[in-house]
């Protein structure tokens, strides 16, 4: 159940866009909003490392006081939005990165959902220089609702309005990790009209040499087999998640398998075609060289859309479990062979 909503603030109006969303979710669940500011320790300019000295401690103490005053001022400005809610206000400082400090505090506060706004902008520039939102999404063991400063997320402030959700799946337990949290999250939106849950799988068929495929129709037959397995898989997932959807939530599920050479761009086009309010997906939490070579569909979508993202990074132990549709896909594969 989602009841504790964690909102990182950095003094900008951009970050504060997350407050009305978190407040609406907390009000729907009779929950708690946790407003947080991170104070970064001073750096030693010569060595580029955090320093611990009397002067540094004085600076940090002053910044903590200023951060707390800022949070108090935020509560005053958003008094109507936050009225009647249980609030927790925290100022934290750590020798690690801002993202790691946020995640550490979020776990201490038993957070159910991190709600934060990204800077948007050029994806490649963010990859080079990093982003607190991006790093939080990549490493958070908790679900993250990532808002884009250039996008509209006001629909999430109205729990009575039906939502249109795009859920990309690929047959893996990683992708499926979003399904249970999503069904629990939908309990916060008891709309009188049904929500639309669009399950999508993109099948990519890479060109291969003649040694691997014989016959002129080899690639086409392989693609047909893959699409058939994917369609069976999505039907299996649909049947299983029907039992996870809360009784007070009305949901219509659609499924579609799409053959395309590129996944992220295809999913963004699907989001536009269905006029969705939110994209729901998992991230592998890859970093460094792995992210360069293997890529991350989640991060590409994050950088290319202004839609809000509901992101889950499954624990490693969960990734080792059999996926929901694996048995069904194996059965189809066996009958096809």
DSSP 266-283: HHHHHHHHTT-SEEEEE-
pTM confidence score? 0.82
- 133 and 192 share one domain: no
Q: What is the pLDDT of residues 232-275, one digit of tens each?
A: 999 999 998 988 888 778 899 999 999 988 899 999 999 999 99
Tokens 């849950």 sit on residue: 197
* DSSP annotation string for 47-98: TTEE--SHHHHHHHHHHHHHHHHHHHHHHHHTHHHHTT-EEEEEEEE-SS-H
Residue 202 sits at φ, ψ, to 5 deg, of -100, 125
Are residues 327 and 182 both part of a single domain? yes
| 111/192 same-domain check | no
Cα–Cα distance for residue pair 162/159, rounded to 1 Å: 8
**Mean pLDDT (whole number) for 90-108:** 85
Radius of gyration of the chain (CA): 22
Clarify whether residues 124 and 167 are in a common domain.
no
Are the C-beta atoms of residues 57 and 31 closer than 8 Å to each other?
Answer: no
Residues 131 and 192 in one domain: no
Q: Which long-range contacts (CB under 8 A, 24 or more apart) does 63-72 make?
A: 63/39, 63/93, 64/39, 64/91, 64/93, 67/37, 67/39, 67/91, 68/37, 70/9, 70/11, 70/37, 71/9, 71/35, 71/37
**Number of Cα atoms under 13 Å in the Cβ half of residue 239:** 8
Full domain range(s) for residue 1: 1-158
pLDDT in tens, 301-331: 877 888 999 998 776 434 444 555 554 444 3
Among 97, 95, 236, 103, residue whose Cα is nearest residue 179: 236
In the DSSP assignment, the letter for residue 324 is T
pLDDT-based confidence at 295, cuts 50/70/90?
very low
217 plus 115 within the same structural domain: no
Q: Same domain for 152 and 89?
A: yes
The answer on 127 and 182 residing in a single domain is no
**Are 245 and 268 part of one and the same domain?**
yes
CA distance 241 to 131: 34
Total residue count of the chain as it appears in this document:
337
| Better pLDDT: 326 or 216 | 326
- Number of domains composing the chain: 2
User: Among 321, 170, 142, which Cα is nearest to 237's?
Assistant: 170
Give the residue-averaged pLDDT of 134-155: 81
Last residue of a domain, one of 107, 141, 158: 158
One domain, residues 119 and 207:
no
Give the single-character DSSP code of 188.
G
- Is 60 exceeded by the pLDDT of residue 125? no
CA distance 110 to 98: 18
- Domain boundary pick from 158, 190, 210: 158
Shared domain check, 91 and 165: no
Which of 158, 188, 208 corresponds to the end of one domain?
158
CATH value at residue 236: 3.40.50.620
Residue-wise pLDDT tens digits, 13-56: 889 999 999 999 999 999 999 999 988 766 544 444 455 566 66
Residue 199: predicted pLDDT: 97
Same structural domain, 250 and 182: yes
């Amino acid at each position: 159940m989602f009841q504790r909503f964690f909102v990182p603030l950095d003094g900008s109006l951009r970050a504060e866009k997350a407050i009305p969303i978190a407040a609406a979710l907390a009000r729907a669940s009779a929950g708690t909003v946790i407003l947080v500011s991170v104070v970064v320790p001073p750096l030693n300019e010569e060595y580029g490392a955090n320093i611990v000295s009397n002067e540094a401690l004085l600076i940090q103490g002053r910044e903590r006081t200023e951060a707390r005053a800022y949070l108090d001022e935020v509560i005053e400005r958003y008094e109507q939005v936050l009225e009647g809610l249980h609030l927790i206000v925290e100022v934290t400082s750590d020798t690690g990165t801002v993202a790691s400090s946020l995640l550490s505090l979020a776990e201490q506060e038993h957070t159910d959902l991190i709600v934060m706004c990204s800077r948007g902008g050029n994806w490649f520039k963010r990859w080079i220089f990093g982003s607190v939102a991006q790093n939080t999404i990549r490493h958070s063991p908790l679900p993250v609702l990532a808002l884009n400063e250039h996008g509209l997320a006001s629909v999430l402030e109205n729990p009575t309005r039906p939502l249109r959700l795009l859920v990309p799946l690929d047959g893996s337990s990683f992708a499926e990790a979003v399904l249970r949290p999503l069904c629990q999250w939908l309990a916060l939106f008891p709309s009188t009209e049904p929500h639309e849950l669009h399950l999508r799988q993109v099948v990519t068929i890479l060109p291969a040499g003649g040694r691997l495929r014989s016959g002129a129709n080899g690639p086409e037959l392989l693609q047909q087999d893959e699409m058939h397995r994917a369609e069976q898989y999505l039907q299996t997932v649909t049947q299983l998640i029907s039992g996870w959807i809360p009784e007070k939530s009305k949901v219509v599920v659609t499924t579609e398998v799409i053959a395309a050479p590129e996944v992220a761009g295809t999913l963004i086009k699907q989001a536009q075609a269905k006029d969705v309010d939110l994209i729901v997906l998992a991230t592998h939490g890859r970093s460094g060289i792995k992210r360069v070579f293997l890529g991350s569909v989640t991060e590409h979508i994050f950088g290319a859309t202004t839609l809000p993202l509901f992101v889950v990074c499954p624990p490693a132990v969960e990734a080792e479990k059999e996926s929901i549709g694996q048995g069904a896909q194996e059965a189809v594969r066996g009958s096809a062979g």
